[in-house]
Structure 1
Amino acid sequence: MNHEELWRSALGELEFEVSRANFATWFKDTTIRGVEDGVAVVVVPNAFAKEWLEKKFHKQIIKSLRSNAPDVRNATYIVQPPSDTAPQNPKKKSQQSETIEEQLEFKEFSVDRETNLNPKYTFESFIIGSFNEFAHAAAVSLSKNAGSLYNPFFVYGGVGLGKTHLLHAIGNQIKFDHPNYKVLYLTSERFVNELISVLQNREPLNAFKDKYRNVDVLIIDDIQFIAGKVKSEEEFFHTFNSLYERGKQIVFSSDKPPAAIQNLEERLRSRFEAGLTADISEPEYEARLAILKSKVNGREFAPLSDVLEYTASRIQKNIRELEGALNIILAKSKLKGRPLTFDEAKQSLDQITMRLKRVVTTSQIIKAVSEFYDLGESGLFERSRRREIVRPRQIAMYLLREDFHGSYPFIGQKLGGRDHTTALHAYGKISRELKQNLKLVEEVKLIRGKIYEN
């Protein structure tokens, strides 16, 4: 295994370990220069990336490297900006470009500097299924009627389900149809960080305001992270009003609907809900298989049909994890110079799915419920009959029974030393309501997301 192949395989595992935003931000333009005396020399593009990899991701990097090359004991990081690389002959440069393109298909790295949009994320490459067809149809319609239909457009769903792809597709389509339109895509984290930088440096806000208010289309990913940041919420409120009043298109994504975003100002919540809200749920088997087939079309050493079918059946909830698993299979196929057999692919996938399984603890459940309903953890143990306490406690009891498989006496004892009949009543009550109350269904789904993401 050469250095490029080692790093590509390691990145395939790291994609499971870190968030998409961190993966795209800190692992872009990274390579391995070599391995000397068990120490891998990782080349990074700038000092910021070096600092973050050393402080935040070092242990995960070592773990991923060792799983592919057991002789690696440590890693060191050196800075080498991409522009500083030595000149290469056209043939080698072409080969390197192909490698970068293959490397986990880092499509987020090929972005337009003016719009921040990735031109490869289009409606044509978006796989449609029952889990996302409404959101897709709405996105296509609004891209043809920017500013006058579904404004704002708010799409939400779990991690790795294609929200970012859809947002880029909207921006790319509008830019294609209206080349003169000013389209801007960014994450809410970037908006907040830029505002903090301006305030800390005591710079005038005029340039910041002009940047975000003088656009025809503003697309913000992961808007939920703006909640609870008072100054950022205030500035964004005025930005939203300025754009909306002039008929400019605004598009958001979030991991939850506006009503479920904790600590969000009501005036922002009402504006987010004023347009069209669409959700993307977990993909069904047929959609997962279609996604895999689209990814391997025309690829060297494409997996056999039974391997794709098994992959689609094993990884069910997250498209990003599905693609990550496929990338590992492709990387191992390239190392062997042939497609993996079913047994080889099954062994790799079984190792991946074992890593993806989470062991739930009582403290995780109690913490997730407490945070979701904005209570201190001690609130669930209070001897109170107030609805704002009783309801979250009943949901905690339901989850302790359903996900932790605790006995009713154990659950009652865990939540304030209550009788087992209290836990039994809570479980039955929540179970019945979940069949009728869609809001409760959404709340439990979001709480589970917090539990298993952690």
Structure 2
Amino acid sequence: MYFDFFCLQAMPSMQEIWNAALLELQTQLNEENIENWFKKLRPYECSDAKLTLLADDPFVRIWVRDNYLDLIEEAIEHAAGQRLEIEILDGDGLEGEEVENIDVDLEPMAARSARLDESGAQTALFDFDSLEISAPADLDALVSAAGMNPRYTFDEFVVGSSNQFTHAACQAVASGSGQTYNPLFIFGGVGLGKTHLLQAVGIEMLRRNPATRVKYLSAEVFMNQLIQSLRQKTMAEFRNQFRHDCDLLLIDDIQFIGGKDSTQEEFFHTFNALYQSGKQIVMTSDKTPQELPGIEERLASRFAWGLIADIQPPEIETRVAILEKKAEDSDLELGKDVTMLLATSIRSNVRELEGTLLRMVAQAQLMNQPLNTDLARQLLKRMNIQHERSLNVEQIIRTVASHFDLKASDIKGSRRTRAISEPRQMAMYLSRKHTGESYPELGRKFGGKDHTTVLTAFRKIEDLVETGNNEFAAAIAELEALLLR
């Protein structure tokens, strides 16, 4: 995609390609996934056709290969300017044996929370015992021990009208003045700062009182730890750490437990124990409690007992402020014209806004060119980011369905007749091109489909359009004219 630029310069090194790919992956995946899987990979060998990565251990290699290989291929293609075959080897450079005693396909959630030590025994990826604090330490050490990012403080959060209320609620909880805000339930779209504010509450509480027992984790990790405890028959220890050895429980992405009955049962009792003992609970989600699919009514009602606060997409002033702060923190020189161009091109996602800035700076440095307005426009165009990015997936689905005399439910459904499957693939292609949302997120918005389905559809339509298939090229052009008029 960026090959015409790189042809003017020497091909970037494989480490530079990998660093640029990591920046893109950070805009699509949460920090936990980046730390647990992608930071455990390193580039080993690169040719014109293939990039070989080394994994820290066999389990990392298997998990990344089976779950994230398509995302890596796409990120590498963007970074290198051409498609490369991706091979993942064990740390010694040789293909390793399959990890024993872990069925990655049948129990992916349990597998994600476990790895093997040198003796072959199964060990927890998250050791909650290590979070216990026996003596005061500096704040960063306390924050890291609780599993949080020391950078996610209130001071580092850019406040605007889109998040002002939620920011104030979080500060009130952290200071102890918001005792009626229990639980505090934060909801909003992807990449708007929910995780940042969630961790800021924990960091501020630790700053005020280092003895505060803070538990921060995602709902997925909660479930994985539950599965592991059931297997190892250590449920007493599991329950004790959450119900008794905890003053502040911070749960990210609570929507993940939807439809998981055993996890909901356990979390229900954990919630009750903490609430009745006056301990604070803060959760984040992508929807309100009443809108969460697969959540039991008794849990949904408890989530609404305290305060529900939402975060909206940032307005233009906040987007400019975010870019200026990111540039300042990263010691980057960013002209006002480039700042405004980025702020008006990316409207809905703070994570993508910051990630795009870092990708553009990295590419400008690789090309040894200043990041001026002209270069920024060219790079944005090649990233399929333009002012029409205000389009959303639902709008695209409705437009495509109407154009082909279908219903939106047909596009999101599972019927595979050609009259439906081809418009569905076009809608997936246009959604990826004009919103830039990740393949997993698009899969969810297209009726809960696997991300590989969306990826395959995008590549198919892209190939048909680029190879001059008149039927598909004309249909895509006509749909884009309807969407962008």
Same-fold call, TM > 0.5? yes
Q: Residues 59 and 359 from structure 1, CA distance in 2 versus in 1: closer, same or farther, beyond 3 angstroms? A: farther
The 1-side partners of 2:211 and 2:87 are apart by 46
Alpha-carbon deviation of 1:32? 1.3
Q: Residues 248 and 298 from structure 1, CA distance in 2 versus in 1: closer, same or farther, beyond 3 angstroms? A: closer
440, 445, 449: which one aligns with 1:450: 445
After the TM superposition, which residues 220-231 of structure 1 pair with which residues of structure 2 at under 5 Å, given as runs? Answer: 220-231=251-262
Q: Deviations over 1:248-288 (max 9, x none)?
A: 11000000010111221111111110001100011001101
Are the aligned partners of 2:40 and 2:60 in contact in 1 as well (CA < 8 Å)?
no
Aligned residues: 360
Q: Which moved more, 1:148-157 or 1:401-410?
A: 401-410
Are the aligned partners of 2:56 and 2:91 in contact in 1 as well (CA < 8 Å)?
yes
**Structure 1 counterpart of 2:356, which letter?**
A
Q: Which moved more, 1:290-299 or 1:278-287?
A: 290-299
Aligned: 1:406 with 2:389 = no
Q: Which runs of 5+ in 2 are unaligned?
A: 1-11, 93-139, 412-440, 450-485
Are the aligned partners of 2:346 and 2:352 in contact in 1 as well (CA < 8 Å)?
yes
Alpha-carbon deviation of 1:179? 0.6
153, 156, 160: which one aligns with 2:191: 160
The 1-side partners of 2:82 and 2:345 are apart by 31
Q: Residues 405 and 166 from structure 1, CA distance in 2 versus in 1: closer, same or farther, beyond 3 angstroms? A: same
Alpha-carbon deviation of 1:60? 3.0
Q: Which moved more, 1:9-18 or 1:189-198?
A: 9-18
Aligned: 1:209 with 2:239 = yes
Q: Residues 70 and 344 from structure 1, CA distance in 2 versus in 1: closer, same or farther, beyond 3 angstroms? A: closer
Alpha-carbon deviation of 1:196? 1.3
Alpha-carbon deviation of 1:199? 1.9
Root-mean-square deviation over aligned CA pairs: 3.4
The alignment partner of 1:174 has SS state of helix
290, 293, 302: which one aligns with 2:324: 293
State the match for 1:116 in structure 2.
147
**Structure 2 counterpart of 1:406, which letter?**
S
Aligned: 1:132 with 2:127 = no
Q: Deviations over 1:185-235 (max 9, x none)?
A: 00000011111122234x131010011112000000001111221111111
Q: Could you state the TM-score of these two structures normalised by the residue count of structure 2? A: 0.67
The 1-side partners of 2:61 and 2:410 are apart by 44
State the match for 2:377 in structure 1.
346
After the TM superposition, which residues 414-425 of structure 1 pair with which residues of structure 2 at under 5 Å, given as runs? Answer: none
After the TM superposition, which residues 42-441 of structure 1 pair with which residues of structure 2 at under 5 Å, given as runs? Answer: 42-69=53-80, 73-80=84-91, 112-145=143-176, 148-201=179-232, 203-213=233-243, 214-297=245-328, 299-354=330-385, 403-404=399-400, 406=402, 411=407
Aligned: 1:5 with 2:35 = no
Alpha-carbon deviation of 1:78? 3.2
Q: Which runs of 5+ in 1 are unaligned?
A: 82-108, 366-398, 416-445
State the match for 1:99 in structure 2.
none
Q: Residues 126 and 110 from structure 1, CA distance in 2 versus in 1: closer, same or farther, beyond 3 angstroms? A: farther
Are the aligned partners of 1:302 and 1:330 in contact in 2 as well (CA < 8 Å)?
no
Are the aligned partners of 1:188 and 1:222 in contact in 2 as well (CA < 8 Å)?
yes
The alignment partner of 2:150 has SS state of coil
The alignment partner of 1:150 has SS state of coil
State the match for 1:437 in structure 2.
none
**Structure 2 counterpart of 1:137, which letter?**
A
Q: Residues 319 and 180 from structure 1, CA distance in 2 versus in 1: closer, same or farther, beyond 3 angstroms? A: same
Q: Deviations over 1:78-124 (max 9, x none)?
A: 3449xxxxxxxxxxxxxxxxxxxxxxxxxxx9994531111110000
Are the aligned partners of 1:143 and 1:173 in contact in 2 as well (CA < 8 Å)?
yes
**Structure 2 counterpart of 1:27, which letter?**
F
Alpha-carbon deviation of 1:414? 6.8
Q: Deviations over 1:33-76 (max 9, x none)?
A: 33146432213333332112222222332333234335763222
The 1-side partners of 2:142 and 2:61 are apart by 22
Q: Could you state the TM-score of these two structures normalised by the residue count of structure 1? A: 0.71
Q: Percent identity?
A: 36
Q: Deviations over 1:130-177 (max 9, x none)?
A: 000000001001101178331111000001100000001000000110
Q: Residues 33 and 266 from structure 1, CA distance in 2 versus in 1: closer, same or farther, beyond 3 angstroms? A: same
The 2-side partners of 1:402 and 1:234 are apart by 38
